[in-house]
Chains A and B, each alone.
Chain A
Amino acid sequence: MAAKKMNLREKYTRMTRDLAWDFSYQRDEDVYKQMTMEGIKIEDWDKWEDPFRLTMDAYWKYQGEKERKLYAIIDAFAQNNGHLNVTDARYVNALKLFLTGVSPLEYMAHRGFAMVGRQFPGVGAQVACQMQAVDELRHVQTQVHTISQYNKYFNGFQEFRHQHDRVWYLSVPKSFFDDAVSAGPFEFLTAISFSFEYVLTNLLFMPFMSGAAYNGDMATVTFGFSAQSDEARHMTLGLEVIKFILEQHPDNLPIVQKWIDKWFWRGYRLLTLVAMMMDYMLPKRVMSWREAWEMYFEQNGGALFEDLARYGIRKPKYWEQSVVEKDVISHAAWGTFYNYAHAAPFHTWTPNDEEMEWLSAKYPDTFDKYFRPRYEHWAEQEKKGERFYNPSLPMLCTTCQIPMVFPELDDLALTCYRSSEYEGDTYHFCSDGCKDIFDNEPEKYVQSWLPVHQIYQGNCGGATVEDVVKWYHMEDGVDNREYLHSPDRRNWDKWTKKATEEEVPPKTAVG
């Protein structure tokens, strides 16, 4: 018998949607319990357009091939001491930020997509989410396996799991993903698939990967490239989700718009860490944060939101503020980490002369005026053997959990403070964006595990900075503090046969 030709769509329908059936022994609302909690109305799950039609056999074939290649390169990298090919050991600190801050989020994405992959009633949506769930497991594991080599030679990687759940600045990425996973399934997808993967991914994943390429880190480049085809699938899912929800019912628009506003701002604030990495942590720079924001958000993002205008979606609230802040946030963040280098498991340093020139050129309106004088002062102090460490604890924004370092829109020299009252208590915020998010769901954000509050409440190992650093599992003088005085730098100089310059003995006391 001659087999009938089936087109891809028909075949894929047989392989996915056709597997489901209408329940008669259980009620839909008992199998899919989260479907109505957010007020999103879905009339017809069959209208879901599968963003990519991938059956499991094809998935295994492609992914298996990619994994074989990737692990061959990781093995070769280890065998050849590939970590010695990076531009400079300062670069490795960008990877520390990545492993402690980003890789655990890949894991959360893995679990979060499994949750929605179980909770959505439509098989098309289920399968797309389930594939992303297992992809995200791939990402966290390939990252751990790649960076494993760096962990063997540099300090600050070894406690990434312990630290992600405890260290002050890591509550920024952790609270971001906890926020998404603790929301309902539609908000999760709007937050992660759309706002993050689709709108902002070029500003998270790619800066790290390009940074790796520019700085001779072939292992990281390899997992980055290898993840790219997965990411492409995830991005198409992000756009499909938004269009699907909006096409299903007009009542969904205001809910989705509110989520887009919230998650744009949440994601943008998280990217402060990336901005700092791009401008300060790469010995060989790819582009400035300002340039990246202009290209990937102002231009590409602008075009996307024009496209979505036909659904009634407008640009996220407060996007104008992100444009003003692009001249400031990376510097404010690096300054903060410089201040608190004794409490973070990576090293900081002041930019050298050449780097200062680059920063002046990239930020003509702000760098020389606001930031250069600080760095020059700190560099001077350091030369005198008085490297500055800030002994106080900063006030954190209740929503994004970043210290209050962001400026007022109309005066970049002024720090922005906002606050709200809720049930007799006052809560503080870094911006109108973060205040709005709190005001919309105060009962959620009053639960925030704010590291500074937790330290004051005695939940972090003790009352002194030394106690807290110990509780973070950081070895003082090894994992933290100034790069110039670090064992990482001494080892690097030894391995690369550079003559170590005469060192200024590090000050051990904070302050």
Chain B
Amino acid sequence: MQIDIKTDNVEPIRNTFAHVARRLGTDKVASRYQEGTLDIQSEINFHYRPLWDPDHEIFDRDRTAIKMEDWYAFRDPRQYYYGTWTIARSRQQDSMERNFSFVEKRELFNSLDDEWRQRVANVMLPLRHLEYGANLNNTYITAYGWGTAITQAANFAAMDRLGIAQYLSRIGLVMDGNSGELLDAAKQDWMESEAWQPLRQLVEDLLVVDDWFELYVAQNFALDGLMYPLIYQRFDQQMAAHGGAAIAMLTEFMVDWFAEHSRCVDAFLKTAANESAENKALLSEWARLWSARAAEALMPVATMGVGDEGFTTMAELQDALQTRGQKKAGLDM
């Protein structure tokens, strides 16, 4: 389309929205992340108290014990708003689609010996239920959190976790030729096998955590911070040594996702911890409490995955999480 407009005398009268300019300190051209995020949530003059929580406003700073002078101090290092998030994920899913068809076409699972094949099914497939719990927890944070900076990132994480639960389900279906038997067996393990009960209990306990920021720490820092390295690094390495290259292809999304997600989690925690000594103490306590529980709950899974090295592996991962908490997330652990 040809547009013939003389533009020489068309000067903008301002560069961004006034609430964005106030935050930037000056009226300069703002990014789409900034215009789509800053102050987008209503903060005052709510008309009615929620019937489901009459002690609070519809959105309420008091739904967490964390206190912030400015809830838009949080900044997603990925600068995700809906557009950038969904475009990034569409690229990743493209690549996953290619990986799945490659693995299926070449029947790459056949290179995995039977014992390891069973181990993959035993260790990875029940985790789709954990991912679903993580989806609900991040949806909770999206719903009841304060400030779009955090809540939108939680919404993306929630949908990412549903996506991961679905990728894990597909792995199960690829492995048994769509019979669904492996997924059924994995669910039975999740429900009944002794090894999975501490983890299932932890996931169920997280579903009733009231303080959304505590839940953020428990799920996104503590549990994920131990589970992802355990499964997608340690277990993955062992599999690779036993012909499990196919698995590495089908978990590419999870590996990339965790690296990216952790950057965001660390940035948010650091911002909150740097705000005040009270925040720091609270966040650190939550991180200690929930990572201890997560380590305990993951222990039997680690043994299943990496055998005798399970104990030392978990100890190393806990150390690594502690270092990450201190160095990157500004916590005392």
Please measure, in the bound complex, the distance between the C-alpha atom of A2 and the C-alpha atom of B39, giving whole angstroms: 54
Please measure, in the bound complex, the distance between the C-alpha atom of A154 and the C-alpha atom of B107, giving whole angstroms: 60
| Besides A22-B191, A114-B151, A155-B13, 16 new A-B residue pairs in contact (Cβ under 8 A), listed by A number | A1-B107, A4-B179, A15-B166, A19-B129, A21-B190, A21-B191, A26-B208, A31-B204, A61-B93, A107-B41, A115-B143, A133-B139, A145-B32, A145-B36, A178-B47, A178-B58
Please measure, in the bound complex, the distance between the C-alpha atom of A178 and the C-alpha atom of B163, giving whole angstroms: 31
Q: Flag if B51 contacts A80 (CB, 8 Å).
A: no
Q: A4-B178, A37-B52, A60-B93 are in contact. Are A82 and B143 (CB under 8 A)?
A: no
Q: Flag if A161 contacts B19 (CB, 8 Å).
A: yes
Q: A118-B136, A165-B43 are in contact. Are A33 and B52 (CB under 8 A)?
A: yes
Tell me if A152 counts as interface (CB < 8 A to partner B).
yes
Please measure, in the bound complex, the distance between the C-alpha atom of A153 and the C-alpha atom of B13, giving whole angstroms: 5
Q: Flag if A115 contacts B90 (CB, 8 Å).
A: no
Q: Which residues of chain B are within 8 angstroms of A70 by Cβ–Cβ distance? A: 83
Q: Flag if A181 contacts B90 (CB, 8 Å).
A: no
Q: Which residues of chain B are within 8 angstroms of A108 by Cβ–Cβ distance? A: 42
Q: Flag if A178 contacts B159 (CB, 8 Å).
A: no
Q: Flag if B9 contacts A56 (CB, 8 Å).
A: no
Please measure, in the bound complex, the distance between the C-alpha atom of A323 and the C-alpha atom of B165, giving whole angstroms: 49
Q: Flag if B82 contacts A174 (CB, 8 Å).
A: no
Q: A55-B166, A81-B10 are in contact. Are A118 and B139 (CB under 8 A)?
A: yes
> Could you list 14 A-B pairs, sorted by A, with CB under 8 Å?
A2-B177, A19-B165, A21-B191, A57-B167, A107-B40, A115-B144, A118-B140, A134-B155, A144-B35, A145-B32, A145-B36, A158-B17, A164-B42, A182-B49
Q: Flag if A111 contacts B59 (CB, 8 Å).
A: yes
Please measure, in the bound complex, the distance between the C-alpha atom of A4 and the C-alpha atom of B178, giving whole angstroms: 5
Q: A6-B178, A71-B83, A448-B48 are in contact. Are A148 and B207 (CB under 8 A)?
A: no
Q: Which residues of chain A are within 8 angstroms of B52 by Cβ–Cβ distance? A: 33-34, 37, 182, 184-185
Q: Flag if A64 contacts B87 (CB, 8 Å).
A: yes
Q: A19-B169, A21-B187 are in contact. Are A64 and B204 (CB under 8 A)?
A: no
Please measure, in the bound complex, the distance between the C-alpha atom of A111 and the C-alpha atom of B50, giving whole angstroms: 13
Tell me if B218 counts as interface (CB < 8 A to partner A).
no
Tell me if A201 counts as interface (CB < 8 A to partner B).
no
Tell me if B200 counts as interface (CB < 8 A to partner A).
yes
- Stretch in contact with the other chain, from A135-143, A297-305, A367-375: A135-143
Closest to A57 in B: B93
CB distance from A455 to the nearest CB of B (A): 12
Q: Chain B residues in contact with chain A, CB under 8 A?
A: 3, 5, 7, 9-10, 12-19, 32, 35-36, 39-52, 58-59, 81-83, 86-87, 89-94, 96-97, 104, 107, 128-129, 131-132, 135-136, 139-140, 142-144, 148, 151-152, 155-156, 158-160, 162-163, 165-167, 169-170, 173-174, 177-180, 183, 187, 190-191, 200-201, 204-205, 207-208
Please measure, in the bound complex, the distance between the C-alpha atom of A15 and the C-alpha atom of B128, giving whole angstroms: 9
Closest to A185 in B: B52
Please measure, in the bound complex, the distance between the C-alpha atom of A115 and the C-alpha atom of B174, giving whole angstroms: 34
Q: Flag if B169 contacts A31 (CB, 8 Å).
A: no
Tell me if A101 counts as interface (CB < 8 A to partner B).
no
Q: When each residue 147-162 of chain A gets 1 if its CB lies under 8 Å from chain B and 0 otherwise, what string results?
A: 0100111110111111
Please measure, in the bound complex, the distance between the C-alpha atom of A226 and the C-alpha atom of B212, giving whole angstroms: 33
Q: Which residues of chain A are within 8 angstroms of B90 by Cβ–Cβ distance? A: 60-61, 63-65
CB distance from B16 to the nearest CB of A (A): 7
Q: Which residues of chain B are within 8 angstroms of A21 by Cβ–Cβ distance? A: 129, 187, 190-191, 200
> In the complex, which residues 456-502 of chain A have their Cβ closer than 8 Å to any Cβ of chain B?
473, 491, 494-495
CB distance from B214 to the nearest CB of A (A): 16
Q: When each residue 76-106 of chain A gets 1 if its CB lies under 8 Å from chain B and 0 otherwise, what string results?
A: 0000111011000000000000000000100
Q: A33-B52, A161-B19, A161-B39 are in contact. Are A15 and B13 (CB under 8 A)?
A: no
Q: A26-B208, A127-B162, A178-B46 are in contact. Are A158 and B18 (CB under 8 A)?
A: yes
Q: Which residues of chain B are within 8 angstroms of A157 by Cβ–Cβ distance? A: 17
Q: Flag if B183 contacts A18 (CB, 8 Å).
A: yes
Tell me if A179 counts as interface (CB < 8 A to partner B).
yes
Closest to A31 in B: B207
Q: Flag if B89 contacts A60 (CB, 8 Å).
A: yes
Please measure, in the bound complex, the distance between the C-alpha atom of A3 and the C-alpha atom of B182, giving whole angstroms: 14
CB distance from A191 to the nearest CB of B (A): 13
Q: A14-B169, A21-B190, A126-B136 are in contact. Are A160 and B47 (CB under 8 A)?
A: no
Q: Which residues of chain B are within 8 angstroms of A10 by Cβ–Cβ distance? A: 180
Closest to B97 in A: A57
Tell me if A243 counts as interface (CB < 8 A to partner B).
no
Q: A151-B17, A447-B48 are in contact. Are A67 and B208 (CB under 8 A)?
A: no
CB distance from B290 to the nearest CB of A (A): 16
Closest to A10 in B: B180
Q: Flag if B48 contacts A491 (CB, 8 Å).
A: no
Closest to B104 in A: A3
Q: Which residues of chain B are within 8 angstroms of A142 by Cβ–Cβ distance? A: 82-83
Q: Flag if A67 contacts B159 (CB, 8 Å).
A: no
Q: Flag if A14 contacts B46 (CB, 8 Å).
A: no
Q: Flag if B163 contacts A448 (CB, 8 Å).
A: no
CB distance from B70 to the nearest CB of A (A): 15
Q: Which of A115, A127, A137 has a CB less than 8 Å from the CB of B152?
A: A137
Q: Which residues of chain A are within 8 angstroms of B91 by Cβ–Cβ distance? A: 64
CB distance from B276 to the nearest CB of A (A): 27
Q: Flag if B17 contacts A137 (CB, 8 Å).
A: no
Q: A118-B143, A145-B36 are in contact. Are A137 and B155 (CB under 8 A)?
A: yes
Q: A57-B166, A118-B143 are in contact. Are A31 and B18 (CB under 8 A)?
A: no
Tell me if A427 counts as interface (CB < 8 A to partner B).
no
CB distance from B207 to the nearest CB of A (A): 5
